[in-house]
């Protein structure tokens, strides 16, 4: 590929310049706000990936749900994610992103604690189990998009590059979560519970410890 000759006589100097991409990423990585939002949103992604990867197996092996029954609970959780996204969008007009991310993180943790309690109490009730997951996913629908917005806000002129890098790293985190769950799944809900709870606590904890309250309340549009 690198040995091929250029066929464009007047090449756009801004097109695929790896030096520029590298310098933009390095600039973003110097921002503590960017790194905080990167990992806070990344662990929130890990929580939803854990749910998507392991919940079908848990539903079948632990709760004995048929594919049709599982689809109802899956749709229920999806509706809660949509509800959370709409609510966060509405509240962002009145509250700062910093406050809403912390609120979403607290909701994530409440859902995670609920998942732990439901897992400890046997037999597991499907509605309780997926209800707690849904609460956690409401928190996700606050944390993930708002941390992404906060990460990109300082870099409006290079938001495309930074957004791609952000998504790449967070996708790697999600892929690692899915891989570990595949290795550790033992036919119980414990691995899913551990991964979801730890991801929610890490996502919220990182932001609370290192997140800086912003002065600009506006999302990137």
Domain ranges of the chain: 34-210
Give the Cα separation of 217 and 153 in Å (integer): 10
Task: Given CATH 3.40.50.880, say whether it is the number of domain 34-210.
Answer: no
**By the 8 A CB rule, do 28 and 159 touch?**
no
Q: Using alpha carbons, select from 129, 145, 161, 187 the residue that is nearest to residue 44.
A: 145
Q: Please tell me the predicted confidence (pLDDT) of residue 7.
A: 66
Q: How many CB atoms lie within 10 A of CB 160?
A: 11
**Strand ranges for 2-83 from DSSP E:** none
For 49, list phi and psi in degrees, rounded to 5.
Answer: -65, -40
Give the number of C-alpha atoms closer than 13 A to the C-alpha of residue 141, restricted to the C-beta side: 22
pLDDT band at 113 (very low <50, low <70, confident <90, very high): very high
Give the Cα separation of 97 and 117 in Å (integer): 30
pLDDT digits (tens, 9 = 90+) for 141-199: 999 999 999 999 888 888 888 899 999 999 999 999 999 998 988 888 899 999 999 99
Give the Cα separation of 83 and 114 in Å (integer): 19
pLDDT digits (tens, 9 = 90+) for 36-91: 999 999 999 999 999 999 999 999 988 999 999 999 999 999 999 999 999 999 99
What secondary structure does DSSP assign to 168-179, as a single string? HHHHHHHHHHHH
């Amino acid at each position: 590929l690198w040995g091929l000759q250029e066929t464009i006589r007047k090449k756009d100097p801004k097109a695929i310049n790896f030096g520029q991409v590298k310098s933009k990423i390095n600039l973003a990585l110097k921002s503590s706000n960017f790194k905080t939002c990167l990992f806070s949103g990344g662990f929130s992604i890990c929580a939803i990936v854990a749910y998507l990867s392991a919940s079908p197996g848990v539903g079948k092996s632990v709760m004995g749900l048929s594919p049709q029954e599982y689809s109802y609970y899956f749709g229920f959780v999806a509706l809660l994610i949509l509800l959370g996204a709409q609510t966060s969008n509405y509240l962002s007009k009145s509250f700062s992103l910093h406050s809403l991310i912390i609120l979403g993180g607290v909701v994530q943790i409440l859902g995670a604690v609920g998942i732990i309690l439901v897992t400890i109490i046997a037999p597991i009730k499907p509605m309780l189990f997926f209800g707690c997951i849904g609460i956690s996913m409401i928190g996700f629908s606050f944390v993930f998009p708002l941390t992404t917005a906060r990460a990109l806000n300082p870099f409006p002129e290079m938001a495309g590059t930074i957004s791609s890098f952000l998504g790449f790293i967070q996708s790697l985190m999600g892929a690692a979560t899915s891989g570990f769950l595949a290795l550790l799944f033992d036919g119980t809900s414990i691995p899913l519970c551990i991964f979801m709870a730890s991801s929610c606590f890490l996502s919220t904890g990182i932001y609370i410890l290192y997140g800086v309250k912003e002065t600009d309340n506006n999302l990137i549009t």
